[in-house]
């Protein structure tokens, strides 16, 4: 290597190392994989024990890069082979370290009611009173003050989680049967537009993105453009719906989503109307104001209540899922408010 050339194994971050893997000779590929494994070990204590923000950003980018590409089929033009054991292991290690940190934060001292009715009431109350709800100053800002471009920025930032929602529900489906399968399938079928392609939630979101000028593939091609808080949000759902041991957390996260989304969307719709969008331009948002209220109720009665009946010992995990999700949403709101309101 000449002095002018840059050694990719030291110049690239984890996501960059993963992307570069497999593009050069096999000797170079092995070096990249070694560098990736070493970087994971270096990054983990920095990101999840010492509170190093740059390290966490790098870790969340890597987690998302792999999650978002690994669910693609190989015929996708965006597909990347992230199934090499070294990549899988580094990804799992980073994810586990993050989970251990969140478990320590949310699990210790969390007490949840263990009867179906008690837990349901607790979940609704915690979600309704959380600071990430519609009372967060972000939502007044979006409804009353944000410019068109600022609404676009917020909508673009929300893509990594939103665009994957149907797939995240689908990831949760295997091995779950009975009434819970029906409720999950009901939610999934709504995501699938009840069988009408143009009404699938993914398509509705892509249509709105096209209408307001958000590139439709940026969530795969421009991972570095997202705030760490938004990557955390997507990664949290990918993590808990891909690992079966974390299914109870995923159930909690989905419950929280369905409970909090409608009110927050109302304010965004107000904002979009103010800057000139018509209802036809934002079917995606309008649709969720209606269906998520039904989903929240169905989820509580047909997924969480039977689980509480059968395995009350799992409810702490469901509770951790709810708390992780709510606090993650709060971090998103704080970041968005900080970024956008300060521009004015
Ligand atoms: Fe949806
Ligand atoms: Fe929903």
Tens of pLDDT, residues 310-338: 999 999 999 999 999 999 999 999 999 99
Tell me whether residue 171 is in a domain.
Answer: yes
- Alpha-carbon span 146 to 280, nearest angstrom: 21
Q: Are residues 207 and 58 in the same domain?
A: no
- Kindly give the distance from the C-alpha atom of residue 118 to the centroid of ligand 2, in angstroms, as a whole number: 23
C-alpha distance from residue 13 to each of 85, 219, 244 (Å): 19, 18, 29
- Specify the CATH number for the domain of residue 216: 1.20.910.10
Model pLDDT, residue 2: 47
* Ligand in nearest proximity to the CA of 256: 2
Q: Are residues 96 and 160 in the same domain?
A: no
pLDDT band at 47 (very low <50, low <70, confident <90, very high): very high
Burial of 342 (0-12, 13-18, 19+ CB in 10 A): exposed
- Kindly give the distance from the C-alpha atom of residue 10 to the centroid of ligand 1, in angstroms, as a whole number: 41
CA angle, residues 34, 40, 41, in degrees to nearest 5: 95
Structure tokens at 270: 């107000």
Question: How much of the chain exceeds pLDDT 90, in percent?
Answer: 88
Q: Which of 66, 85, 106 is the last residue of a domain?
A: 106
Q: Are residues 91 and 184 in the same domain?
A: no
Model pLDDT, residue 13: 96
Q: Are residues 337 and 226 in the same domain?
A: yes
Structure tokens at 58: 């790098």
Cβ proximity of 90 and 36 under 8 Å:
yes
- Kindly give the distance from the C-alpha atom of residue 85 to the centroid of ligand 1, in angstroms, as a whole number: 33
What DSSP string describes 252-295?
HHHHHHHHHHHHHHHHHHHHHHHTT--GGGGHHHHHHHHHHHHH
Tell me whether residue 1 is in a domain.
Answer: no
Q: Are residues 92 and 118 in the same domain?
A: no
- Kindly give the distance from the C-alpha atom of residue 191 to the centroid of ligand 2, in angstroms, as a whole number: 8
- Kindly give the distance from the C-alpha atom of residue 288 to the centroid of ligand 1, in angstroms, as a whole number: 6
Question: Which range has the worst mean pLDDT, 21-35, 96-110, 196-210?
Answer: 21-35
Q: Which of 57, 88, 106 is the last residue of a domain?
A: 106
* Ligand in nearest proximity to the CA of 284: 1
Model pLDDT, residue 294: 87
**177-192 mean pLDDT:** 95
CA angle, residues 204, 275, 224, in degrees to nearest 5: 60
* Ligand in nearest proximity to the CA of 295: 2
- Kindly give the distance from the C-alpha atom of residue 295 to the centroid of ligand 1, in angstroms, as a whole number: 10
Cβ proximity of 208 and 154 under 8 Å:
no
Position 3 pLDDT exceeds 70: no
In the 8-state DSSP scheme, what is residue 311?
Answer: -
Tell me whether residue 180 is in a domain.
Answer: yes
Averaged confidence pLDDT in the chain: 94
- Kindly give the distance from the C-alpha atom of residue 5 to the centroid of ligand 1, in angstroms, as a whole number: 47
pLDDT band at 7 (very low <50, low <70, confident <90, very high): confident
* Ligand in nearest proximity to the CA of 187: 2
CA angle, residues 173, 177, 179, in degrees to nearest 5: 105
Q: Are residues 101 and 132 in the same domain?
A: no
- Kindly give the distance from the C-alpha atom of residue 306 to the centroid of ligand 2, in angstroms, as a whole number: 19
- Phi/psi of residue 149, each to 5°? -65, -35
In which domain, by residue range, is 224 found? Answer: 114-341
* Ligand in nearest proximity to the CA of 183: 2
Model pLDDT, residue 326: 97
Q: Which residues have CB atoms below 5 A from the ion given as ligand 1?
A: 201
- Alpha-carbon span 144 to 199, nearest angstrom: 29
- Kindly give the distance from the C-alpha atom of residue 88 to the centroid of ligand 2, in angstroms, as a whole number: 30
Tell me whether residue 301 is in a domain.
Answer: yes
- Kindly give the distance from the C-alpha atom of residue 292 to the centroid of ligand 2, in angstroms, as a whole number: 4
Tell me whether residue 2 is in a domain.
Answer: no
**pLDDT tens by residue, 114-123:** 999 999 999 9
Q: Are residues 73 and 202 in the same domain?
A: no
Model pLDDT, residue 5: 65
Tell me whether residue 269 is in a domain.
Answer: yes
| Spatial CB neighbours of 330, under 8 Å, sequence gap ≥ 6 | 130, 131, 132, 136
Q: Are residues 216 and 97 in the same domain?
A: no
Q: Which of 47, 71, 106 is the last residue of a domain?
A: 106
Q: Are residues 91 and 178 in the same domain?
A: no
* Ligand in nearest proximity to the CA of 184: 2
**63-87 mean pLDDT:** 96
Cβ count near 196 (within 10 Å): 9
- Kindly give the distance from the C-alpha atom of residue 189 to the centroid of ligand 1, in angstroms, as a whole number: 10
Helix (H, G, I), strand (E, B) or coil at 81: coil
**pLDDT tens by residue, 251-267:** 999 999 999 888 899 99
- Number of structural domains in the chain: 2
HEC sequence for 163-203: CCHHHHHHHHCCCCCCHHHHHHHHHHHHHCHHHCHHHCHHH
- Kindly give the distance from the C-alpha atom of residue 92 to the centroid of ligand 1, in angstroms, as a whole number: 28
Q: Are residues 302 and 271 in the same domain?
A: yes
C-alpha distance from residue 35 to each of 10, 54, 62, 287, 328 (Å): 8, 18, 14, 46, 30
Q: Are residues 24 and 62 in the same domain?
A: yes
- Kindly give the distance from the C-alpha atom of residue 344 to the centroid of ligand 2, in angstroms, as a whole number: 33
- Alpha-carbon span 317 to 15, nearest angstrom: 30
Cβ proximity of 154 and 142 under 8 Å:
yes
Position 4 pLDDT exceeds 60: no
* Ligand in nearest proximity to the CA of 285: 1
- Kindly give the distance from the C-alpha atom of residue 165 to the centroid of ligand 1, in angstroms, as a whole number: 6
Closest CA to 164 of 56, 242, 50, 53: 242
**97-114 mean pLDDT:** 94
- Kindly give the distance from the C-alpha atom of residue 62 to the centroid of ligand 1, in angstroms, as a whole number: 25
Tell me whether residue 190 is in a domain.
Answer: yes
- Kindly give the distance from the C-alpha atom of residue 285 to the centroid of ligand 1, in angstroms, as a whole number: 9
Q: Are residues 75 and 98 in the same domain?
A: yes
* Ligand in nearest proximity to the CA of 194: 1
Tell me how long the chain is: 344
* Ligand in nearest proximity to the CA of 299: 2
Tell me whether residue 147 is in a domain.
Answer: yes
């Amino acid at each position: 290597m000449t002095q002018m050339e840059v050694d990719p194994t030291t110049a690239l971050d984890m996501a960059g190392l993963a992307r570069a893997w497999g593009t050069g000779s096999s000797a170079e590929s092995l070096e990249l994989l070694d560098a990736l494994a070493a970087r994971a070990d270096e990054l983990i204590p920095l990101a999840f024990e010492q509170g190093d923000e740059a390290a966490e950003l790098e870790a969340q980018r890597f987690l998302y890069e792999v999650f978002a590409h690994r669910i693609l089929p190989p015929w996708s033009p965006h597909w990347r082979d992230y199934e090499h054991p070294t990549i899988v292991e580094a990804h799992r290690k980073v994810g586990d370290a993050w989970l251990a940190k969140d478990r320590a934060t949310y699990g210790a001292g969390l007490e949840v009611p263990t009867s179906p009715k008690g837990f349901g009431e607790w979940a609704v109350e915690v979600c309704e009173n959380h600071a990430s709800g519609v009372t967060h100053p972000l939502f007044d800002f979006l409804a009353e003050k944000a410019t068109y471009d600022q609404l676009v920025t917020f909508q673009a930032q929300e893509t990594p989680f939103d665009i994957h929602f149907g797939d995240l529900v689908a990831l949760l489906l295997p091995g779950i049967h009975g009434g819970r399968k029906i409720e999950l399938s009901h939610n999934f079928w709504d995501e699938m537009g009840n069988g009408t392609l143009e009404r699938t939630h993914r398509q509705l979101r892509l249509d709105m993105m096209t209408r307001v000028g958000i590139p439709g593939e940026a969530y795969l091609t421009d991972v570095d453009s997202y705030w760490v808080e938004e990557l955390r949000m997507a990664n949290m759902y990918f993590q808990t719906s891909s690992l079966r041991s974390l299914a109870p957390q995923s159930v909690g996260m989905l419950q929280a989503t369905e409970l909090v989304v409608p009110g927050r969307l109302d304010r965004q719709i107000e904002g979009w109307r103010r800057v000139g969008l018509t209802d036809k331009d934002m079917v995606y948002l309008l649709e969720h104001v209606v269906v998520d209220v039904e989903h929240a109720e169905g989820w509580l009665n047909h997924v969480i209540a039977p689980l509480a009946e059968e395995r009350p010992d799992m409810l702490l995990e469901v509770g951790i899922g709810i708390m992780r999700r709510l606090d993650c949403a709060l971090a998103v709101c704080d970041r968005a408010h900080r970024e956008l309101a300060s521009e004015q």
